[in-house]
Amino acid sequence: MIMENKKSKFITKDIMKDATVECFKKLNPKYMAKNPVMFVVEIGFLITLLLTIFPNIFGDTGNNLRIYNFIVTIILFITVLFANFAEAVAEGRGRAQAETLKKTRKDTSAKLLDSSGNVKVISANELKKDDIVLVESGDVIPNDGEVIEGIASVDESAITGESAPVVKESGGDFASVTGGTKVSSDWLKIKITATPGESFLDKMINLVEGASRQKTPNEIALNTILVSLTLIFLIVLVTLYPMAGYAGVKISISTLIALLVCLIPTTIGGLLSAIGIAGMDRVTRFNVIAMSGKAVESCGDVDTMILDKTGTITFGNRLASDFIPVGGSEKAELINYAVICSLKDDTPEGKSIVELGNKLGCSVDKDKYINIKFEEFTAQTRMSGVDLEDGTSIRKGAYDAIKKRVNELKGKIPEELEEEVNKVAKLGGTPLVVCVNNKIYGVIYLKDTVKPGLVERFGRLREIGIKTIMCTGDNPLTAATIAKEAGVDGFIAECKPEDKIEAIKKEQMDGKIVAMTGDGTNDAPALAQADVGLAMNSGTTAAKEAANMVDLDSDPTKILEVVEIGKQLLITRGSLTTFSIANDAAKYFAIIPAIFTVAIPQMQVMNVMKLSTPNSAILSALIFNAVIIPLLIPIAMKGVKYRPMKAELLLLRNMLIFGLGGVIAPFVGIKIIDMLITPIIRILNLG
């Protein structure tokens, strides 16, 4: 199940107010023409409005025809408004989120440095690309840039929502800074990489508001199908009119329009744009900025995922995995001495040794070692340890450093020590040798640990047919070990940046859609080559510009959730399309018998709903057609619940729930509406 990082109400009072106003503004024919299906409904509304004013303009006659035309006009008007309302709500949610971002985009001052290093305070809007600015503690970074000098903590909470500051420094993968973030400490010299109005924050706001949203290829294809269906039904109705006349059935123009509106795919036509906007919105609320709707859609089609090992599959810190005794020592002794040696070691490795020791039943009483003297690790000694009050000296460190120390103390080196050290090294781990005074007790096996829960998540991806490939600079033996433990489908050992590009191209040549993550400049070519490139916000400008998605939280594993959001978008669109078309098929049984039963009594057998009168059947179907759109807005906004499963099972589930549901819903809904409006029709004498 996809969880959103930012919980929010589905619709607030402000969004409701703005959406209500917007749905009327969208009635402009120039705007409506962008949605051909609903444009046809609007044209139908205008024709029935004309017929309400001039009921006999086309030669139609009948009891209270003006009242009937007026009712059809109102229902058609409401249908168009509901469709516009769905889109306006989706856009409103985006605008509400954009307003939060805009608060960070206030006009700030910038300390511009000239060629002599002198500071000139100017407005941030006056900055140009390649300008050099100075930012100090408490300053807001005026625009996107690269750190060229200095090191400082930067508060990015205004954009990412993460309270912990991020360290930025020149060089490496953490040199990129974003306009609108704030320097918490120290100072930085920044080279501006974006012109005002084109910063990362500006792009985010435009995308979230929907100002830059382009229709995706699948959306365009589905829109083409909907237009084709509309044209087909239009042709059917044009031919139906003379056929009905030949059979002695007089069909009013307003009834023909009602029939057309009910049979064309108005439900999905009214929700299609809202589904696309809501998909972008869901990704954004998950703290990922998609540079286009196509990127989100591509996530749903991903076949292969390329993942870095360090930081994505593993923590990147080498943590204690095992204790290996040597020289006849007991494992319990080795564990106790290793834990004592690490009690004051605050490094991830030291903490992991204590944690693993406790899990394995370490019997050390920590209170006895409060006053021990701790020797920190240095590049010169290549070891760390403690000196106890009784003179006992315990050390852990590199094999050659410990060996040299023991030899100097006239100790004995166990014969199997070198063999055990080499075994750990061949597995890609780090061996730490433990000695007490001049005696060696064994080896601590440190390894880069796989993040918990990844095996299950990779299993979920495998269920939906996505292959995972791990890239690592480790040797093949180490890579194979990590790959097996993590549960990935394949790996590339001793991987260089160009190897990633080759791997992506190879998959793409086989017709696969490829996704990958990255944060460094050396990842930029591969991010650009991939169909879905997710760059880390903490990464370089080059990586963010090459990718088509940026993760504000800089969590490489988020690509797994992003793919599921993409799947959810496609499933939502497919499900509601299935429901809409199934709806239209069911409406045949309401309207067609109603039109022809008077002249052809045998068609009464098709009136399975037992609707009261022809007019009540037509109006009931038309009302249901209008009401179903707002009822489906929550599903369009939140998305259909996604469950990882094979495509065949997914299709079967979709057909059972939304296909069968789409057939049953009109039968129930139209019958209920018919029962409610029949007394009114009789009072109005609409027959």
Give binding residues for Mg(2+) as ranges.
519, 523
Which helix (DSSP H) or strand (DSSP E) does residue 431 occupy? strand 430-436
Q: Helix-strand-coil percent breakdown of the chain, rounded to 5?
A: 55, 15, 30
CA angle 250, 253, 256 (to 5 degrees): 85
The closest of 607, 589, 586, 585 to 598, measured between CA atoms, is 607
Q: Is 494 helix (H, G, I), strand (E, B) or coil?
A: coil
Q: Mapped to the 3 state alphabet, what secondary structure does 153-222 carry?
A: EEECHHHHCCCCCEEEECCCCCCEECCCCEEEEEEEEEEECCCCCCCHHHHHHHHHHCCCCCCCHHHHHH
Distance CA 443, CA 420 (A): 8
Q: Which residues are annotated as a binding site for ATP?
A: 345, 349, 377-384, 396
Distance CA 159, CA 299 (A): 23
In degrees and rounded to multiples of 5, residue 267 shows phi and psi of -60, -55
Place of tokens 């300053």: 139
Q: Is 436 helix (H, G, I), strand (E, B) or coil?
A: strand
Distance linking the first and last C-alpha atoms of the chain:
51
Distance CA 679, CA 686 (A): 10
Residues 342-356: b if buried by 16+ CB within 10 A, e if exposed: bbbbeebbbebbbeb
Distance CA 402, CA 444 (A): 13
Structure tokens at 478: 């180490």
Distance CA 91, CA 102 (A): 16
Is 308 a catalytic site residue? yes
Which helix (DSSP H) or strand (DSSP E) does residue 86 occupy? helix 65-102
Amino acid at 39: F
Given a contact cutoff of 8 angstroms between Cβ atoms, the answer to whether 599 and 247 are in contact is yes
- Going by DSSP bridges, is the β-strand pair 288-290/549-551 parallel, antiparallel, or unpaired? antiparallel
Catalytic residue among 308, 531, 555, 674: 308
Structure tokens at 135: 């930012």
Non-local (6+) Cβ contacts of 272 within 8 A are: 35, 219, 222, 223, 226, 573
Given a contact cutoff of 8 angstroms between Cβ atoms, the answer to whether 515 and 495 are in contact is no
Catalytic residues: 308
